[in-house]
A and B are shown apart, each in its own frame.
Chain A
C-alpha cells in the first residue's frame, strides 16, 4: 500500500512566526512596545455599518428591508464606513441579525433594537462555539456544540443548555436606511475560562 505521507517541512509562515516570537521575547526584555490593534480586529464601533457575512447577500450592506420578521438569524460583521474595513479579524466580532416584533422585546433591551432589528453576538458564552442553529418553532438561537438556547426576545437570555450567561447584544440604530452600530456590545463577548 502506498503511503499518504508528507515529509515534514516548516512553512514560511511558521519560520516567520518563529522570528516574530523571538523578536517579541527580545522586545519584552528591552522596551515593551504597544502594538496597535488592526482596525479589522477592533470590536464593532458606534457608527459602523453592518454587512452580511453569509448567504446570497454576503458582503452587502444590511438595510432594514432585507430582514424578515422572525427569520432565521443571519451572520453579519461591522464595517467602518469611512475606510471600508470589515471588522472580520476576529470571530468575536460576528453578530447574528434578525427582525423581531419590537413590542414583544423585553423593555429594558428595547434601546438596543432598531425598528425591531436585533443583533446578538454569534459566540456562545459556554465554550465559544458559533450560535448558528435556529429553533424556528420557539424562535430561539441555539448552539450546535452543546445545545445551549437563547431567547432573542429577552436579551439573549439562556433558556436551555449549559451556557452560563446571555449572549452579548450589539445596540443598533438606523441611519440613512442602513443598519448601524449604536454602541459597544452590551455584555461580555465569548466565554470565560473558569479558573
Chain B
C-alpha cells in the first residue's frame, strides 16, 4: 500500500524519507521477526516495546549487572543523534538491532553491540507545523517492521532492516492541532496510537490500524458525543474541543484483551469553562483491543482545572490488600495521589489512594468510588487566581514508574515542593490556535514551597502494604523515566546535572553515576547480546524539563544552563 497524504502536495514532499547507510549484515544477525507470541512473552535479552512488557512494569529480568558490581559499569559506546530538544524514547532492542527515535521524528537503527548506524529515517516535517512538545517516545516493533507516530500526526511503518517506508497513514490533521509523541502499541495484530493536542482544542481519541495494511480498524474518542454515555458531563458544544488527549503508550492485558490508556485533562484548562465531570478526561479507560469498545473507566479526578493530565498508563500489577489478591492497576497520578484500582472484564474498581507528594487540593476521597472532594479555594477559574500543589507538572508527569515483581517495589520518579499559581482567562476556539485559557501570573505561575530543600525524588513503595519504603532526594527537579532490573537495581537520570544513576533497589543508595553530555529524560532499557548485559538510555534535555528549569531560574534568580543535544549511551560491565 502506498502512503497517502491528507493535506497537500507540499506535505507529500515533506514526508519523503532519507536513508543514511545500509544494514551491514556481517555485524548483525538475521532479523528475528517480532511475532505476537514474542510480544506476549519477550525474552529477557530483548526490550521489544516502550516499557519492555505489556504490563508496563519497566522491568528487566537480567541480573548480570547487580547491586554488587554496578560500580564497575562502563561506557561501551555512545552515538550523537545530531538533534536538540527532548530525547525521551527508549532504546528498543530485538536480537542485536536497536531502534531509537528522536525529536523531529528521526528513527535510528543501530547495531546494539557496536553502535554502528544501520540506517536512519529522516522525516521532513511541514514548515508550518507548531510543536509544543518537540519529542518522540519511541517505536513499536511487529513482524519485520518498525512503527512510529509522528508529530505531524501520521503513523509510519518502516522496514526494520532497511528503514524504507512501507506505508504511512494520516491519523488526523496537524493543522488543527493534532500531533503524536507516544510510542505506538503493537497488540492483537494492530498498531494503536493516541493523539496529543490538548492545548489546541482537539477531541482526543485512540485509534488502531491493521499492522500489515495500515487500514484503520477502530477509533474511540475520549470524549463522548451527545447522546452517548458520559456526554452529560460536557455542556453544550464543549465536547468538540474539549481536549482529553492520549499521549503515552497504553498497557495491555492479553487475557482480558483490554488495553488501558491514561487520558489528559480537558480544555481550556480551567474547569469552569466546561462545568461537569468531563468524562473521560483525567481517567484510565479500558478499550477492547479487538473493537475499541470502551469497556470500563475510572476517573482519577473530575473537572480538571490544574493541567493534571493523567496520561501515564497504569501498571498492571497484582497486589494484596488485607489478605486478598487483587488483579490491579497502579497509577502514580500527576494529581499527586498514588492510585490502586482493580481491573475486571467490564469494570475498574477503586481500592485505595493517597498522596505521595504534598497535595493541597483534595480534601477527601470517597472510600467506595475514589471520587475526590476539592478545596474549592484551590481550584482556579476564569479571573480566579489560586495557588495549588503539586504544580501543573504534578507529583509525576509522563516519566514512567517501574515495578520489580520480585521485591514488590514500585519506583516513582517524583517532584516535591513545586507548586503553581493559575487563573483562567476567556479564550475563543480557532482551529490550529492554542486553546488554553490561562491568564498571566507572576513568575510564570510557578513557585516553590517555603523551606523547600529539594525538588526531585525517587520513591520506592511496597504495593502490598501500600507503604513508602525509601525516598532518595535531589536538589534538581526530576524528569527521569525509571528502569528496574532483577539485579536489585534501579536506573534513572532526570536531573539537571546530566547524571545517569544506578540505585540500590532495596535502599535507594546511589551506587554508580555517569555524567552524560546532556540531561536525561529518556526511558532506560536493559538488553543482552551473546550473554553480555547492557544498559541503554538516551540523553537529550528539553521540552518540559527545560521549561520547568526556566521557571525555577525565574523564582530563584538563577540562570542554570543544561546543554542540549541528543546521544544514545550503552553501558556494560568490563569484559
Cα of A24 to Cα of B218 in the assembled complex, Å:
29
Provide the residues of chain B in CB contact with A2, threshold 8 Å.
228-229, 294
Interface contact A195-B106, CB-CB below 8 Å: yes
Interface contact A194-B229, CB-CB below 8 Å: no
Interface contact B432-A91, CB-CB below 8 Å: yes
A13 within 8 Å of B (CB atoms): yes
A3 contact from B4, B220, B222, B430, Cβ within 8 A:
B220
Provide the residues of chain A in CB contact with B444, threshold 8 Å.
147
Provide the residues of chain A in CB contact with B129, threshold 8 Å.
128
Interface contact A21-B84, CB-CB below 8 Å: no
Provide the residues of chain B in CB contact with A129, threshold 8 Å.
130-132, 434
Which one of B106, B129, B130 has the greatest number of beta carbons of chain A within 10 Å?
B130
- Per-position contact with A for B213-227: 1 when CB-CB < 8 Å, else 0? 001111111111100
Closest to B542 in A: A162
Interface contact A92-B128, CB-CB below 8 Å: yes
Q: How large is the interface on B (under 10, 10 to 19, 20 to 34, 35 or more residues)?
A: 35 or more
**What is A's interface to B at a CB cutoff of 8 Å?**
1-8, 10, 13-14, 17-18, 20-22, 24-25, 35, 54, 90-92, 123-124, 127-130, 132-133, 135-136, 144-147, 161-162, 190-191, 193-195
B546 within 8 Å of A (CB atoms): yes
Cα of A6 to Cα of B3 in the assembled complex, Å:
23
B294 contact from A1, A54, A133, A162, Cβ within 8 A:
A1
Closest to B432 in A: A91
Interface contact A8-B219, CB-CB below 8 Å: yes
Chain B nearest Cβ from A88, distance in angstroms: 11
- Would you list the 6 A-B pairs with minimal beta carbon distance, nearest first? A18-B4, A8-B216, A127-B131, A3-B293, A128-B130, A145-B132
Interface contact A133-B440, CB-CB below 8 Å: yes
Cα of A123 to Cα of B127 in the assembled complex, Å:
11
CB-CB under 8 A for A3 and B291, given A17-B6, A132-B434:
yes
Cα of A182 to Cα of B84 in the assembled complex, Å:
36
Closest to B210 in A: A8
Interface contact B229-A14, CB-CB below 8 Å: no
Please name 19 further chain A to chain B contacts, defined as beta carbons within 8 Å, in addition to the given A5-B291, A145-B132, A194-B84, sorted by A numbering. Answer: A1-B297, A4-B222, A5-B220, A6-B218, A7-B218, A8-B217, A8-B218, A8-B219, A17-B5, A18-B2, A25-B2, A54-B430, A92-B127, A123-B130, A127-B130, A129-B131, A147-B444, A193-B125, A195-B106
Provide the residues of chain A in CB contact with B293, threshold 8 Å.
3, 5
**What is B's interface to A at a CB cutoff of 8 Å?**
2-7, 9, 12, 82-85, 104, 106, 122, 124-125, 127-132, 134, 170, 175, 199, 207, 215-225, 228-230, 280, 291-297, 346, 428, 430, 432-434, 436, 440, 444, 546-547, 550
Closest to A11 in B: B6
Cα of A129 to Cα of B128 in the assembled complex, Å:
9
Closest to B151 in A: A127
Provide the residues of chain A in CB contact with B6, threshold 8 Å.
13-14, 17
Cα of A190 to Cα of B128 in the assembled complex, Å:
7
Interface contact B128-A20, CB-CB below 8 Å: no
Provide the residues of chain A in CB contact with B207, threshold 8 Å.
8
